[in-house]
Amino acid sequence: MLMDPVQSHSLLVYTAEPGSESYEKLQLLAVIGSPSSVH
């Protein structure tokens, strides 16, 4: 967890083990969830 007590912000990052089913699903989400460059 990264914290910035001055601004009262915190960032919690979850990851998946490479090669796991969750990892593969996150990779797919990164592709289909990214903004399209075609307008």
Q: Which of 13-33 are b and which e, b meaning 16 or more Cβ less than 10 Å from the residue's Cβ?
A: eeeeeeeeeeeeeeeeeeeee
pLDDT in the model for residue 1: 77
3-state percent helix, strand, coil for the chain, nearest multiple of 5: 30, 15, 55
List the beta bridge partners of residue 3.
10
Quote the CA–CA distance of 30 and 28 in Å, as a whole number: 5
Task: List pLDDT tens digits, range 1-39.
Answer: 788 888 888 888 888 999 999 999 989 988 898 776 555
pLDDT at 38: 57
Q: What pLDDT shows up at residue 17?
A: 97
Phi, psi angle pair for 24, to nearest 5°: -60, -40
* Residue 39 pLDDT: 55
